[in-house]
Amino acid sequence: MRCHEVDYELFGDDMQIVEVELDPKETVIAEAGAMNYMDDGIDFESKMGDGSKPTAGIMDSLLHIGKRVLTGESIFMTHFSNSGHGKKRIAFSAPYPGKIIPIDMSSIGEELTCQKDAFLCAALGTSVDIAFQRKLGTGFFGGEGFILQRLRGDGMAFVHVGGTVIKRELKDEIIRVDTGCIAAFTSGIEYDIERAGGLKSMVFGGEGMFLATLKGTGTVYLQSLPFSRLANRVMQAASVGGSKGEGSVLGGLGTIFENR
């Protein structure tokens, strides 16, 4: 199935919104809850599937549900269609601070592998599937587990990454990255992990026990603020009462004496 051809415009900096322009009878698919606002004349429907296979049977639908459960996403995807006359616009917002990356799938070999919660929306015809890591070590220690998302198609797709995005073009090269900082990579890139130096570096280095290695020829997208890192900092601040005396030793001591 050929993807619908959609235009778009990005707004904002750290909390971005992407506005997708739909011609009559064009459709964009999105994760549940990603929509921000839309013009009158756009209809939406929740479906069990991305719509890339219009003739999918009951077994294909059940398989898709199982895959969605494994990724931690809703079993439904929302399809937004322009049922009116003239061009209509619909906007989708990022779930946490970061950047929305617009990707023309036809220019990167029609395939992109990304972290399992990176997908935001895409033109109808884009296949949103999962990619299992075949190597046991990569699955356990690779930061994203056994499961990544795989997007296939020839239209526009939009993924969200945390913090600042860095785009690296590899030409038969190797790059070593913190496991949580990998946002997406194109076909032609091999993903694996390696031990982070010696025992002392692994325990006291602060960089984790393993690093990811990306090698080959293709495009790699890196993120400066993985959501897991952001969540850990918030939880640490909440556990020590970070609202009082923040940034000082007395902030933590004050909480201890307050409870006595």
pLDDT tens string 104-151: 999 999 999 998 788 999 999 999 888 765 554 545 554 444 578 899
According to CATH, the superfamily of the domain at 7-232 is Mitochondrial biogenesis AIM24 (3.60.160.10)
**Distance (Å) of CA 79 to CA 26, 151, 154:** 10, 16, 18
Report d(CA 61, CA 80) in Å as an integer: 19
Looking up tokens 């797709």 gives 157
Kindly give, in sequence order, each residue whose CB lies less than 8 Å from that of residue 145, ignoring residues fewer than 6 positions away.
116, 133, 139
Q: What are phi and psi of 242, to 5 degrees?
A: -65, -10
CA–CA gap between residue 172 and residue 7 (Å, rounded): 33
Three-class secondary structure of residue 198 per DSSP? coil
| 13 token code pair | 């900096």
d(CA 65, CA 91): 26
Alpha carbons 90 and 70: distance in angstroms, whole number: 29
pLDDT digits (tens, 9 = 90+) for 96-109: 888 999 999 999 99
Mean pLDDT confidence for 2-27:
93
Q: What distance in Å separates the CA atoms of residue 126 and residue 131, rounded to the nearest whole number?
A: 15
**What are the structure tokens assigned to 116, written together?**
């399992």
Residue corresponding to tokens 């296939």:
152
Q: Report pTM.
A: 0.78
For the segment 205-232, the average pLDDT, to the nearest whole number, is 79
Tokens (6 digits) for 77: 């995807």
4 CA to centre of own chain: 21
pLDDT tens digit sequence for 185-218: 999 999 887 766 555 554 554 455 678 889 999 9
Complete DSSP assignment for 65-118: HHHHHHHTS-S-EEEEEE-SSS-EEEEEE-SSSEEEEEEEGGGTTSEEEE-TT-
> How far apart, in whole angstroms, are the C-alpha atoms of residue 2 and residue 126?
8
Higher pLDDT, 82 or 69: 82
Percent of the residues in the chain that have a pLDDT greater than 90, as a whole number: 42
Residues 6+ apart with CB under 8 A from 131: 113, 147, 148, 149, 150
